[in-house]
Structure 1
């Protein structure tokens, strides 16, 4: 059950924030009063969602090493610090999906670069800001969006599944290592959703059988609040 916490002023960044789950998270967090920055690659989409939600849009590609520190600098400058990082941006790798024997090395690399290295690099770049928040308010959080493909061997999903499995284990290790810094790390599987990424992977899937991104976002926000125990007793959060 969701705790009665007002997230007013909670500083959150979401990657992949202009479509699917990321967009749903940006909209809901902003509506609840959080201070939100989001990252996406396409400038026109970033401008549109920024205007719609009143959030801080950042144009950047987490799959590009040279974009990471400019993204991190814009996040901390626009929000004045950081409480929650949601690594949501994802790549399927080969499109259409391919069995591993037919997967090009470059397609496997593409999935790893976004889903694993991108999340790792951005978290590392923002670790200091998260640790500072933890020292000030007794808690900070990194949410890495995982998948059931990280634990189940789905034929055709090798590049994506392998990258998400690595991300899940990376999350568990970092959670153990960052305990003394007051930073929690959790990997969350939102389930099969009706998103552009899922449609790209399985264009013939029936959308009515898939979870809506809005529902998945609401569930993730509930788990986010549960993972911030220092704020569990608050009725009013940090003021902007």
Structure 2
């Protein structure tokens, strides 16, 4: 019989938490009793969502090297540690989407900074806290939000797809390296969702054909619970 890991009291950080999938995750996690800190760039939106959900809002840009240390300190100060990190914030790169030959170098750098280097820096800054949580028997999980563009070469999605492919592979390597520390790493593709980011990428898409962010958030939380249950079961067997 699987060990049940309740979300109540779980310490979770979510990047890009004021819209789309990130907002759905913040709302769902907070409603289930998790202690949530979320990060976004717009002060007004951060204040509004924090008030609405009682989650802790942090203003910052994970694509900015200078913001990572202050963000990580605030996460740990507000939550008193960390059990789950969800790297959700993303950048499309050029908008409208462009062929690689028409993509500016700076646009590729922007996508890499937000989708790859930012999550790497934030995870690295918080890894010690996650490993400590695993040692305490709470479990520890890092979720990197991926995309089918990470595995399928779609014309026009070069900056986004390449950065997500790199993040996906980075996740797999870190999963191997962190297994001994008890920190699980998951790369999860939520599918095509009715979000502002998708609307920017594919403005002609019919929202009725897209997944609701709330449904995707529920699936991701189920995956997190499964990873935490596995960690707890392993700890019990030691």
- Same fold (TM > 0.5): yes
Q: Distance in 1 between matches of 2:34 and 2:233?
A: 16
Q: What pairs up with 1:1-240 in 2 under 5 angstroms? A: 4-137=4-137, 139-228=139-228, 229-231=230-232
Change in CA separation of 1:54 and 1:138 when aligned onto 2, cut-off 3 Å: closer
Provide the residue aligned with 1:238 in structure 2.
Answer: none
* TM-score (norm. length: structure 2): 0.95
Q: Distance in 2 between matches of 1:34 and 1:157?
A: 35
State the 4+ residue runs in structure 1 displaced beyond 4 angstroms: none
Give the SS at the match of 1:156: coil
Q: Distance in 2 between matches of 1:138 and 1:46?
A: 28
Identify the structure with bigger relative contact order (alpha carbons < 8 Å, sequence gap 6+).
1
Q: Give how far 1:226 is off.
A: 0.7
Change in CA separation of 1:27 and 1:231 when aligned onto 2, cut-off 3 Å: farther
Q: Give how far 1:5 is off.
A: 3.4
Structure 1 gap ranges (5+): 234-240
Please tell me whether the aligned partners of residues 21 and 195 of structure 2 are also in contact (alpha carbons under 8 angstroms): yes
Q: Give how far 1:96 is off.
A: 0.3
Q: Distance in 2 between matches of 1:7 and 1:107?
A: 38
Q: Distance in 2 between matches of 1:75 and 1:5?
A: 22
Change in CA separation of 1:24 and 1:206 when aligned onto 2, cut-off 3 Å: same
1:175-212 CA-to-partner distances (Å, cap 9, x unmatched) read: 00011111011100000000000000111110000000
Cα-Cα RMSD: 1.3
Q: Give how far 1:232 is off.
A: 6.1
> What is the aligned length?
232
Q: Distance in 2 between matches of 1:135 and 1:161?
A: 35
Q: Distance in 2 between matches of 1:147 and 1:3?
A: 30
Please tell me whether the aligned partners of residues 14 and 87 of structure 1 are also in contact (alpha carbons under 8 angstroms): yes
Change in CA separation of 1:16 and 1:218 when aligned onto 2, cut-off 3 Å: same
Moved more, 222-231 or 79-88: 222-231
Structure 2 gap ranges (5+): none
Change in CA separation of 1:153 and 1:3 when aligned onto 2, cut-off 3 Å: farther
* TM-score (norm. length: structure 1): 0.94
Please tell me whether the aligned partners of residues 3 and 225 of structure 1 are also in contact (alpha carbons under 8 angstroms): no
Change in CA separation of 1:46 and 1:155 when aligned onto 2, cut-off 3 Å: same
Provide the residue aligned with 1:237 in structure 2.
Answer: none
